[in-house]
Structure 1
Amino acid sequence: MTRTRAFRQVDVFTTRPTAGNPVAVVLDADDLTVEEMAAFARWTNLSETTFVQSPVDERADYRLRIFTPGGELPFAGHPTLGSAHAWLQRGGESASGSIIQECGIGLVEIKVDGHRLAFAAPPLIRSGPVDAPVLAKVAAALGISRRRIVDANWVANGPEWIGVRLTSGEEVLALRPDMAGLGDLLVGVIAPWSAAQAQHRGADYEVRAFGPGIGVPEDPVTGSLNAGLAVWLCGAGQAPASYVAAQGTALRRAGRVHVDTDVESGTIWVGGASVTVVSGTVDL
């Protein structure tokens, strides 16, 4: 039965509206069916639409269902931060001091870090080298030779991301991928900026994310991918414990993802600013 529900559209990984990655957040979504949630996600046509529900696990503050236009995801980063922002803005309070989100991969901790929210990067559920035939397919679809790929690794933490490392941020921005060639693969590409470029851009790395198989040819700013890349690269000593990644440049966005490693616990926190752009109600 249709009823009026609280709604927010939040821009994530930015302090400036329209510069990050939007997520549509439907609050009070307990009674919505999977079919109704999926239909609304297709209708918004955003990379993700979320639905805040009462938790099943008593340790959680809320349960989050995350949908792309192509189906449900067990976890995604920018929807996690945007939904937490909307939940707090509406008056949500956590007894533990941190926000505990329940989702398809289990419980995810979210903390307030100054003017930013940050989630604890979940462990990889698939890691390790990418098989040669798959990597050859990725290189061909990206329009580059296999020799230009410095390294590649599975960095799946819900979404089945393949992480690809190139030499420079310029190479990342020059990519013109063949989306049909990527097929169902989820591919994230990262490379460092020079010291001079990093100072100019306010970012140490450039990242792009491609997921045509889930209805998102290029995602503006991707929390799950950046979390997986950080677990891989920081864990292998190929990236510093803390850095800033730029994403969305090729789409005329200006997303900034902050990665910070807690030296005592080893927890990798992935965060950024969020800003509400649309606030009101939706009839579903």
Structure 2
Amino acid sequence: MLTRFKQVDVFTSVPLKGNPLAVVFDADDLTAAQMQSIARWTNLSETTFLLKPTDTSADYRVRIFTTRGELPFAGHPTLGTAHALLESGHKPKQPGRLIQQCGVGLVELAAQPAGRWAFAAPPAKVTPLPADQYPALQAALKTDAIDFTASPCGVDNGAPWLVVRLQSADACLALEPDAQALAQITHTVGAHGLAVYGPHAANGPATFEVRCLMAGGGLGIGEDPVTGSANAALAGLLTQQNRRPGDSYTARQGTVIGRDGRVFVTYDDTAGKTWIGGASVTVVDGTFRLP
């Protein structure tokens, strides 16, 4: 059996510089076990499966799988799936708006300038890292550049991250953490990875440099190229901690592993929404042979 398939690069307009995503269309007849098998085979951080929505207000439904399990929400799969769907000819129910049905419920997407799309960050549970864990965090990251004026916090919006602020972008880029020790620290707040960030200078390439280091669990292992859920977690935490750099900002991610991802964050305080946006580009377009 053949079905439509796309592999897209997310948070970039330049192929091979963002975070790849596999998108399988017309997946209504696939079982969860089949989806998991396909996700293991693509061997990407996430593979998504497009299905007919069961909520009449939604444009589509998506299931998101890592090589290890299913996620209720993830950011770059949300943007990449929307890009693939729109490119295939889907007409949104509302012009310039999409409603995605997924494990966390309904997620709104909106068209942005320069052909980008953005998703409204879903609600998140925030758990501060206990202060008695700070020395262990410093030891795991092997740095004295943690900015503890912004408390490290676990943030779970469907993909759980420990968000940590460093004093500079350079300190973020220089990290060479102890992976085993890091896993122990992140798990104390129920996180599966570390989202660490530091500010660039005023004339820098972005407002913040971001790195996402997975520590096992549902998010896998290694360093993620560009991460929508973690950037959504960071954006919400900046608001909670009164550290927002303005009504909008940009983040660069993936530098250390040869990528150049760009995330565009916009706060809409009137509507009470935080938009996480970026470009997407299709790299592979064709059919997938299903088992």
Count, aligned residues = 277
Would you say the 8 A contact 2:50–2:62 is kept in 1? yes
- 2:66 is aligned to 68
- 2:220 is aligned to 215
Cα deviation for residue 129 of structure 1 reads 1.4
1:230-241 alignment, distance < 5 Å: 230-239=235-244, 240-241=246-247
1:95-244 alignment, distance < 5 Å: 95-97=93-95, 98-114=97-113, 115-124=115-124, 126-132=125-131, 134-145=133-144, 149-151=148-150, 152-183=152-183, 185-196=192-203, 198=204, 201=205, 203-213=206-216, 214-239=219-244, 240-244=246-250
Structure 2 residue matching 1:63: 3-state secondary structure: strand
Hey, what's the Cα distance between the residues in 2 that align with 1:147 and 1:258? 24
Q: Deviations over 1:203-253 (max 9, x none)?
A: 110000011313231100000000010011033320222000000001110
Q: 1:32 to 1:138 in 2, by over 3 A?
A: farther
Hey, what's the Cα distance between the residues in 2 that align with 1:135 and 1:182? 12
Hey, what's the Cα distance between the residues in 1 that align with 2:155 and 2:161? 5
Greater than 6 Å deviation, 4+ residue runs: none
Would you say the 8 A contact 2:161–2:195 is kept in 1? yes
Hey, what's the Cα distance between the residues in 2 that align with 1:88 and 1:143? 44
Would you say the 8 A contact 1:47–1:216 is kept in 2? no
Hey, what's the Cα distance between the residues in 1 that align with 2:22 and 2:132? 37
Paired amino acid for 1:163 = V
Correspondence for 1:78 among 76, 79, 98? 76
Would you say the 8 A contact 1:212–1:218 is kept in 2? no
* TM-score of the pair, normalised by structure 1: 0.93
Hey, what's the Cα distance between the residues in 2 that align with 1:262 and 1:147? 29
Q: Deviations over 1:182-219 (max 9, x none)?
A: 335311001111113x2xx2x11000001131323110
Cα deviation for residue 261 of structure 1 reads 0.9
Q: Deviations over 1:30-75 (max 9, x none)?
A: 1111111111111111111111111111111111111111111110
Would you say the 8 A contact 2:145–2:171 is kept in 1? no
* TM-score of the pair, normalised by structure 2: 0.91
Answering whether residue 255 of structure 2 is matched by residue 254 of structure 1, we say no
Would you say the 8 A contact 1:150–1:167 is kept in 2? no
Q: Deviations over 1:143-169 (max 9, x none)?
A: 224865443112210111111011100
Structure 1 gap ranges (5+): none
Would you say the 8 A contact 2:194–2:215 is kept in 1? no
Q: Percent identity?
A: 50
Structure 2 residue matching 1:195: 3-state secondary structure: coil
Structure 2 residue matching 1:58: 3-state secondary structure: coil
Q: 1:91 to 1:100 in 2, by over 3 A?
A: same
Q: 1:91 to 1:130 in 2, by over 3 A?
A: same
Correspondence for 2:283 among 258, 277, 280? 277
Hey, what's the Cα distance between the residues in 2 that align with 1:233 and 1:177? 24
Structure 2 gap ranges (5+): none
- 1:18 is aligned to 16
Cα deviation for residue 138 of structure 1 reads 3.6
1:20-39 alignment, distance < 5 Å: 20-39=18-37
Hey, what's the Cα distance between the residues in 1 that align with 2:277 and 2:182? 28
Please, what is the CA RMSD of the aligned residues? 1.6
Hey, what's the Cα distance between the residues in 1 that align with 2:139 and 2:3? 45
